[in-house]
Chains A and B, each alone.
Chain A
Amino acid sequence: MNIYVCIKQVPATETKIKINASGTGIDTTGIKWIMSPYDEFAVEEALRVREKNAGSTVTVVSAGPQRATETIRTALAMGCDNAIWVETPEETDSFQAAKALAAVIKKEAQPDLIFTGKQAIDDDCAQVSQLLATFLEIPYVTVALNAEYGAGTVTVKREVEGGTTEIIAMPTPCLIAAQKGMNEPRFASLPNIMKAKKKEIKQYKMADLGVTDADRKIKLVNMTLPAGKQAGKKITGDAKAQAQELARLLHTEAKVI
């Protein structure tokens, strides 16, 4: 089986976001970059499917600037066989990224399964998985909690609102976008980290893939930090008095209950 896993490099979740001088991006100084957390579940799932299907290969693909190759190496260290990097400028939108990933997959081996994370935690667009599958004209399931793999078919449990789940069967090739908890991602061992450093990363440029500026559909015109909040009211007294006062304030002052 040819298994692809598409990942994105993002700032670590503890990052304090600062806006850059142009006001349309973040200041990347001092940021620690990680694999987007949901992508770890995608990589793990791809590796588990490979382990159950002898002769399969897992190819990791990532679009991003030069530093994205560090995250590609993390995926290689976890156990991916092949790696592809699509070099992009700092700012690309979901449409461009998905178009580039689709073009790469069309140039490379025909996919049986494609795994992604349900969203990247930087721009939070949660679009690339669905765009990619649609460009490739294959079915997809997002927010996957688990999947069972049969012959030429996959049955996926998808999380929707309020504890409800949907059970969806689809033929391969198909795309599965992982939710947290789909599996327990493995840690890369030190020998594998060393080995991953020497592995080849195949490179494409956006232009090689027919992706242009005209494919950018969303323009980011301004980025701001959320307004700071005025200091709130501290409610004092014993627990009874505090509870009474809070209920009163929420009812008569804030008028939210």
Chain B
Amino acid sequence: MATALIYAEYKDGKIKKITHELIAEAARSGCEPVAFLAGAGVEALAKDLGAMGAKRVILVQGDALKFYSNEAYGKAFVEAVKSVNPAIILMGASAQGKDLAPRVAATLGIGLASDCTKVKIEGDKLKCTRPIYAGKALADVEFAGSGPQFATVRPNALSVGALQEDASAAVTNQPLDASALKSVVKDVVRGATAKLDVTEANIVVSGGRAMKNSENFALLEALSAVLPNSAVGASRAAVDAGYRPHSYQVGQTGKVVSPTLYIACGISGAIQHLAGMRTSKVIVAINKDPEAPIFQLADYGIVGDLFEVVPLLTEEFKKVLGEH
């Protein structure tokens, strides 16, 4: 049985969904999922990884791992790869995974398929599909040469399995070598309100230039507030006009998202924006202009004034969700 080493990520004391997705995918493909867990005081999370399907957990702890850094975490992860000798390595294409994975690949001299939306594990071979040109095209990639086959996978692209609360993973403590670290993480500054990132949200409500100003985004915040696991995004036009910071931008020079539901409000649908959200499972467009290109991609379209429709929609969503 091929072994898949999975980089576990957590936030606020909880394992992230992407980690669950990767473990579930490895297990579905007949691999033995082994999780790598690093940090300080994180041993309790090993149990959650077991419930997600990890058979083993490589646990590395120490003060040097209190905050994520590509140097300290990279060093520990490379050690784990050497001891586990996996056929497959998977990380989330998250802020950490994107930063860390190439460092690991360079150190080990192996290839990396980044930001994949599909992975297929056949024995000890990994075949991936990854969007390129921000999703205007898709590339099927394979690995040349020997060594572990390594991919980062976009959050929400794979499905999670059921939790097995009674399952447990065997924990191996790996010693930490914190010598010769060059960079120091001075601080991690949380945003004013701890918000879900658009790349991780299950539902994204986005606004375009038609929002007219930053204050009007409160309408979208209100809509988002009734939808669990949702976040507010923006088009480049809205960001360039100063309505939202760049970290909210969805599109080719912003973030590429693939939520279950994407609600585009007052976004006409420039090719660069469509590239950033076209893989969303269900797309809703609300726009005054019936000719707006966004409607070509929308599963449900409303030609209308977002300032009228959005507040009503917030009320209707409340009703529908309240029925549960």
A residues sitting closer than 8 Å to B (CB atoms) are: 11, 13-17, 19, 26, 37-38, 93-95, 98, 121-131, 133-135, 138-143, 155, 159-171, 174, 179-181, 214, 216-226, 229, 231-235, 239-240, 242-244, 246-251, 254, 256-257
Contacts and interface: CB of A to CB of B under 8 A. Distances in A.
Given A161-B95, A217-B110, A130 B145 contact: no
20 contacts: A14-B271, A122-B133, A124-B134, A139-B71, A139-B182, A140-B70, A143-B95, A163-B195, A164-B194, A168-B186, A174-B183, A214-B145, A217-B143, A218-B111, A219-B141, A223-B140, A226-B136, A226-B279, A233-B301, A242-B304
B145 A256 contact: no
Nearest to A165: B189
Contacts of A181: 246
Contacts of B136: 15-17, 225-226
A131 B99 CA distance: 10
Interface in B178-229: 182-197, 199-200, 203, 227
B122 interface: no
Contacts of A14: 270-272
Contacts of A129: 102
Query: In the complex, which range does the number of interface residues on chain B fall in?
Result: 35 or more
A246 B189 contact: no
Contacts, number: 271
A61 to B, nearest CB: 18
Nearest 4 Cβ contacts at the A-B interface? A163-B191, A217-B111, A161-B197, A130-B102
Contacts of B114: 124-127
B53 interface: no
Contacts of B190: 163-164
Contacts of B68: 166
Contacts of A160: 95-96, 188
B145 A217 contact: yes
Contacts of B297: 229, 232
A247 B323 CA distance: 12
Given A130-B106, A161-B94, A181-B246, A243 B197 contact: no
Interface stretch (B81-89, B163-171, B312-320): B312-320
A256 B261 contact: yes
A226 B304 CA distance: 28
Interface string B256-282: 100011000000001110000011011
A142 B245 CA distance: 18
B261 A250 contact: yes
B295 interface: yes
B187 A167 contact: yes
Interface string B33-71: 000000000000000000000000000000000011111
Contact of A141 (B183, B189, B253): B183
B26 interface: no
B162 interface: no
B139 A93 contact: no
Nearest to B190: A164
Contacts of A216: 144
Given A16-B271, A170-B184, A229 B95 contact: no
B316 A233 contact: no
B272 A127 contact: no
Contact of A134 (B106, B138, B309): B106
B142 interface: yes
A131 B105 contact: yes
B187 A166 contact: yes
A159 B103 contact: no
A163 B140 contact: no
B324 to A, nearest CB: 10
A124 B131 contact: yes
B107 interface: yes
Contacts of B304: 239, 242
A254 B71 contact: no
Nearest to A229: B297
A214 B111 CA distance: 11
A148 B303 CA distance: 48
B112 interface: yes
B251 to A, nearest CB: 9
A123 B133 CA distance: 6
Contacts of A98: 106
B321 interface: yes
Nearest to A227: B138
Contacts of B110: 217
Contacts of B94: 161
Given A166-B188, A181-B246, A233 B299 contact: yes
A216 B182 CA distance: 29
A142 B114 CA distance: 15
B80 interface: no
B298 A226 contact: no
A257 B317 CA distance: 8
Given A128-B102, A181-B246, 6 more contacts: A13-B271, A121-B253, A124-B114, A171-B183, A218-B112, A234-B303
